[in-house]
Amino acid sequence: MTAASAPPMIRVAGVDKFFGPLHVLKNVQLEVPKGQVVVVLGPSGSGKSTLCRTINRLEPIDSGVIEVDGQPLPAEGKELARLRADVGMVFQSFNLFAHKTIVENVMLAPTKVRKTPAAEARKTAMELLERVGIANQAEKYPAQLSGGQQQRAAIARALAMKPKVMLFDEPTSALDPEMVQEVLDVMTGLAKDGMTMLVVTHEMGFARKAADRVIFMSDGEVVEDSTPEEFFSAPKSNRAKDFLGKILTH
Amino acid sequence: MSVLTNNLPLFLDLFWKTLQLFAVSAVLSLVLGTILAALRVSPVPVFRGIGTGYVTVLRNTPLTLVFVFFVFAYPLLDILKIENYTAAVVALSLYTAAFVCEVVRSGINTVPVGQAEASRALGLTFVQMLGNVVLPQALRSVVPPMTSTMIALLKNTTVASGFAVAQAGNIRDSLSEQGENVLFGLLWVALGFVILVMPLTYVQQVFEKRWSVAR
């Protein structure tokens, strides 16, 4: 199979989703090829977080197709759990397991889902915590860490499953400003290492620096799909111009 | 005092039986109640329906009626013969499980939904998520109401008196047969129950303390 005919890591085609009468995703099309970093931008309520959450079926869709690595999302059950194990996710609110230490957080899924022996899982966990720069916090509980440290632990937890693709749902939106950079640095490192990533964010700097492509969403639609240079210097749509005008002037 | 000292073997024997009836029913109802709570929060609608149906029926039926069913009505079905003692255990366990279920479920609801989402996103199955992430965190808030449910169970064991299952609730019968002072006899029985409940309250305090630290 040549690179061109390989299936994209994520394929979203004709996806619609409603929350009651609210049409939150409107005929969304999106492809993320292997190794690309795609950043999703857009105003609040534009459906970008919902889109991110549909990709591992935390939100079910009403119509359309979502495929991960060429495989359509199965219905809730064992098969979906297997697929989710290959898709890492990082949440806005970290969602670290409050009753487990940081290293236990990272070890849990490998030991339970992959049946990795505990000693090996711990070794891998410590390496990952080293990589995100919080190995010295391994034995603490999540509540004892700063937000930035918690989010880096959450990234390590997702990486412990050796995912094929990582989803980031506004990973820095709940952080104090001085902690945003340490999380973005970890993400930039991942991007450089060739991880396939879909990142919902408001961090324009990250989009410019680390993204291969920028998706702009508004009112549940994908309005633009272009390179960061194109998007930031010459946005095509009025909605994107309006959005950039609001965030870049101050 | 003489009521107690003259009949000490009787008191000890019947309170020991109360304790046994309680212990067996407590274990069974805790296990069944937790399974029912898992059904009630399951993603499968049929399972949720079963859990809800169970709680609706058992929680809304008087305990005496559940006893009557297993002692008198169930034998007519001619499935499997059971002793009155077994019938009492079954009645107490099934009845209490409905309350345990609701206590556990309220505990589950105190755990932020993000914890379950993170588990699912990592590929944990529903059962793994409940067992490793949600229930351990739910336990903390469950301790006080669960203690109340267990105290109620301990006291409910006396309902078995009406169905020829000997335990502390029968002490009065034996005393009046022997012409002892029933008023004082009953006061001693009441004191016996207070003493039995105290360890439960102690266990509650221990768990509350232990689990408040790791938060």
Whether the predicted pLDDT of B134 surpasses 90: yes
User: B121 and A56 in contact by Cβ < 8 A?
Assistant: yes
The predicted structure's pLDDT at residue B210 = 82
Encoding tokens for residue A205? Answer: 């700097």
Cβ within 8 Å, pair B117-A99:
no
Give the global pTM. 0.86
Candidate from B118, B123, B137 with C-beta closest to A95:
B118
Q: Which amino acid is at B128?
A: Q
| Residue A18 scores a pLDDT above 60 | yes
Q: How many separate domains does chain A show?
A: 1
Q: How far is CA A249 from CA A142, A206, A241, A245, in A?
A: 37, 18, 12, 6
CB pair distance less than 8 Å for B122 and A161: yes
Q: Which residue of B has its CA nearest to A55?
A: B121
Distance CA(B200)–CA(A99), nearest Å, equals 25
Given an 8 Å threshold on Cβ–Cβ distance, is B122 in contact with A95? no
pLDDT bucket at A15, cuts 50 / 70 / 90:
very high
Q: What pLDDT was estimated at residue B213?
A: 55
Q: Fill in the DSSP letter of residue A197.
A: E
Count of alpha carbons within 13 angstroms of residue B27, beta-carbon side: 5
Interface of A with B (CB under 8 A): 56, 58, 76, 78, 81-89, 91, 93, 95-99, 108-109, 112-113, 141, 143, 154, 157-158, 161
Alpha-carbon distance A84 to nearest alpha carbon in chain B (angstroms): 5
Asked if B133 and A97 come within 8 Å (Cβ–Cβ), the reply is yes
ipTM: 0.90
Say how far apart CA B117 and CA B99 lie, in whole Å.
27
Domain count, chain B: 1
A229: helix, strand or coil: helix
Range of the domain at B14: 2-211
Would you say residue A138 lies in a domain?
yes
Asked if the model's pLDDT at residue B186 lies above 80, the reply is yes
Contacts of A112 in chain B (CB under 8 A): 124, 128, 132
pLDDT at B164: 81
What's the confidence (pLDDT) of residue B173? 83
What is the CATH number for A119?
3.40.50.300
Cross-chain CB nearest to A81 (options B115, B125, B214): B125
Calculate mean pLDDT across residues A68-97: 94
Band of the pLDDT at B60, cuts 50, 70, 90? very high
**DSSP 3-state of A246:** helix
Per-residue pLDDT, B214: 52
- In this complex, do B120 and A81 lie within 8 Å of one another by their Cβ atoms? yes
Orientation angle between helical segments B45-59 and B8-40, nearest 10 degrees: 150
Is residue A3 one of the residues assigned to a domain? no
Report yes or no on A175 lying in a domain.
yes
CB A110: neighbour CB atoms within 10 A?
24
> Which of A58, A76, A157 shows the shortest C-beta gap to B43?
A76
Across the range A239-248, mean pLDDT stands at 88
Interface contact B128-A113, CB threshold 8 A: yes
Q: Which residues contact B101 (CB under 8 A, 6 or more apart)?
A: B33, B34, B36, B37, B40, B51, B54, B55
Contact: A112, B132; criterion CB under 8 Å: yes
Provide the pLDDT for residue A3: 52
Write out chain A residues lying below 8 Å of B110, CB-based: none
What's residue A249's pLDDT?
63
Q: What is the pLDDT of residues A54-81, one digit of tens each?
A: 999 999 999 999 999 999 999 888 899 9
- pLDDT of A77 reads 86
Q: Which of B117, B120, B122, B134 should one mutate to test binding to chain A, selecting the residue with the greatest count of A CBs within 10 A?
A: B122
Residue A34 lies in a domain: yes
Say yes or no for a CB contact (<8 Å) between B115 and A157: no
Q: Which residues on chain B are in Cβ contact (under 8 Å) with A97?
A: 115, 118-119, 133, 137
Task: Report the alpha-carbon distance of residue B164 to residue A61 in Å, rounded.
Answer: 59
Residue A62 corresponds to which tokens in the numbers above? 């009403």
Q: Best of A112, A162, A168 to disrupt the B interface by mutation (most B CBs within 10 Å)?
A: A112
Pairing state between β A196-200 and A37-41: parallel
pLDDT of residue A116: 96
A2 has a pLDDT exceeding 60: no
Specify if A2 maps to a domain.
no
**Which residues in A lie closer than 8 A to residue B214 (C-beta atoms)?**
99, 141
Instruction: Indicate the pLDDT class of residue B157, thresholds 50, 70 and 90.
Output: very high
What's the pLDDT score for residue A164?
95
**Assigned token pair, A66:** 């979502």
Half-sphere exposure of A128 (CA within 13 A, CB side): 25
- The pLDDT value recorded for residue B47 is 96
Query: Confidence band (pLDDT; 50, 70, 90) for A1?
Result: very low
Give B174's pLDDT tier (boundaries 50, 70, 90): confident
Average pLDDT, chain A: 93
Nearest CA to B67 out of B96, B107, B110, B102 is that of B96
Give me the domain span that covers residue A198: 10-248
pLDDT at A250: 55
Q: Each residue of A167-198: pLDDT tens digit?
A: 999 999 999 999 999 999 999 999 999 999 99
* B120/A108 CB distance under 8 A: no
Q: Which of B43, B114, B128 sits opposite A91 (nearest CB)?
A: B114
Average pLDDT of chain B?
91
Chain A contact set for B112 (CB, 8 A):
95
Q: Which residue of A has its CA nearest to B115?
A: A95
Query: Is residue B176 very low, low, confident or very high in pLDDT (cuts 50, 70, 90)?
Result: confident
* Contact between B118 and A89 using a beta-carbon 8 Å cutoff: yes
Q: What share of chain A is helix, strand, coil (3-state, %, to 5)?
A: 40, 25, 35
Three-class DSSP category at A178? helix
User: Which residues touch B192 (CB under 8 Å, ≥6 apart)?
Assistant: B11, B15, B168
A207 exposure class (CB count in 10 Å sphere: 0-12, 13-18, 19+) = buried
Quote the CA–CA distance of B69 and B85 in Å, as a whole number.
Answer: 14
Q: To the nearest whole angstrom, how far is the Cα of B118 from the nearest Cα of chain A?
A: 6
Confidence of residue A139 (pLDDT cuts 50, 70, 90): very high
In this structure, is residue A5 part of a structural domain? Answer: no
Q: For position B9, which CATH number holds?
A: 1.10.3720.10
pLDDT tens profile A191-241? 999 999 999 999 999 999 999 999 999 999 999 999 999 999 999 999 999
